[in-house]
Amino acid sequence: MWKIATGAFWRVLSVLLFAGVGLPAWAGNGDAYTLAVLPGAPPITMHKLWSPIVERLAKESGLEFRLKLYEKMADFERDIWAGNPDFIYSSPIQIVVAHQSSGYLPLVRSAKPVRVGLFVRKDSPIRSVDELVGRKISFVGNKNLCSVAMQHLLTTGKLSFETEYSGSTRNVLINILLGKSDAGSIFLPEMDMQSDDTRNQLREIVTTPDIAPHPLSAHPRVAAKVRDRVKRAMIAIAATASGAELLKLFNLSDPVAADYSRDYRPLEVMDIKGMTHWGQ
C-alpha cells in the first residue's frame, strides 16, 4: 500500500517538475519569487540537490521562493529568454543572452574563475595549437560553454580544423585516449574530477582566458532592495561551514558580487548570436 502511494506521489511530482512548475515555496509571508535552475540532472534529482540551498536562502533573506526546474535545457532557455522567472541560475553564456533578451542582472558568482583546456594524448607528437591545422578536435556540443569558448579562441587565431561533437565530456576523453580525435576541449573543473589515471594520459596544450563562472541573477522587475537582500544572503550562507559545502556543489563557492559589464560582457565577442540551446 505504501509503495503504491509513494510511486503515485513521485509520478505526480515528476509531471509537475517536468512541466517547469515550481515546488515548493519556502519562508516569507508574501508572494513567492520563482528561482529557475538550469537542468543538470533529472528534475527530481535537481529538486533534492537544490532544496537545501533554497531553504537556506529563504531563511537568511526572509523572502519566499519557489524552485522551478526543467526536464530539458530548451525549456529552461525559452523561459528565461521570455523573462518569466524572477531569479535564475545559469551558465555564463546563458546570462549573456538572458541579459540581452530580458535584462537579467547577475547578483553573485563564485570568486574562482573557470577555464577551458585543449588536451591531447600525453604521447601525441602535437605540441602546439598550430600543429592542429586540419586535425580533428572533439567538443561536447556546438552550444555549451567549453565548446563555444575554445572554438572562439581557436578561430580567433585563424586555425582551421575538423570539428567533432561527442555529446559529453566522457566521450571527448574517450575519443582522445583512443586516438579517434587528435585533441579535445574540456571544461577544467570537469577535468579536475577525473581519475589520476585519466589525467596522467593527457597533456594540455592551451587554455582559454579566465571566464566568470555561473551566476545567480535577477530579472530587473525584482526591486533593487530585494536583489540586494538575496546577494547579501548568499554571501552570508557561504560564511558558514555547512552553507559553503552546499554552494560548492554548484560552482557557487566563495560567492562575490557579480557585475555584468565586468564579468560577462566580454563573452559577447563569442559567436553566440542566434543560438537557442546550450548546455553546461
Amino acid sitting at position 51: S
Q: Please tell me the distance from the alpha carbon of residue 280 to that of residue 273, in angstroms, as a whole number.
A: 17
Confidence of residue 3 (pLDDT cuts 50, 70, 90): very low
Of the ranges 20-29, 56-65, 134-143, 255-264, which one carries the lowest mean pLDDT score?
20-29
β-sheet bridge partners, residue 204: 119
Contacts of 122 (CB under 8 A, 6+ apart): 200, 201, 202, 203
The Cα 57–Cα 240 span in angstroms is: 13
CB atoms within 10 A of CB 6: 10
- The answer to whether the 2-112+212-269 and 116-207 domains have the same CATH topology is yes
Encode pLDDT of 9-31 as tens digits: 333 343 334 445 455 556 544 57
| Among 77, 112, 110, CA closest to 96 | 77
What pLDDT, on the 0 to 100 scale, is given for residue 99? 96
* Cα gap 169→205, rounded to integer Å: 17
Nearest CA to 35 out of 99, 79, 100, 92 is that of 79
* C-alpha cell belonging to residue 245: 559545502
Mean pLDDT of the residues in the chain: 86
Q: Return d(Cα 166, Cα 163) in angstroms, integer.
A: 10
Instruction: Looking at mean pLDDT, say which of 95-104, 140-149, 244-253 comes out highest.
Output: 95-104
Higher pLDDT, 156 or 96: 96
In whole angstroms, what is the distance from residue 270 CA to residue 151 CA? 9
CATH of 116-207, picked from 3.30.2130.10, 3.40.440.10, 3.30.70.20, 3.40.190.10, is: 3.40.190.10
Rg over alpha carbons for the chain, rounded to the nearest Å, is: 20
What is the CATH code for 2-112+212-269?
3.40.190.10
Percent of the chain with pLDDT strictly greater than 70: 86
Residue spans of the domains in the chain: they are 2-112+212-269, 116-207
Give the strand pairing for 202-207 and 87-89.
unpaired
Quick one: CA dihedral 273, 275, 276, 280, positive or negative?
Answer: negative
Which one has a higher pLDDT value, 269 or 264?
264
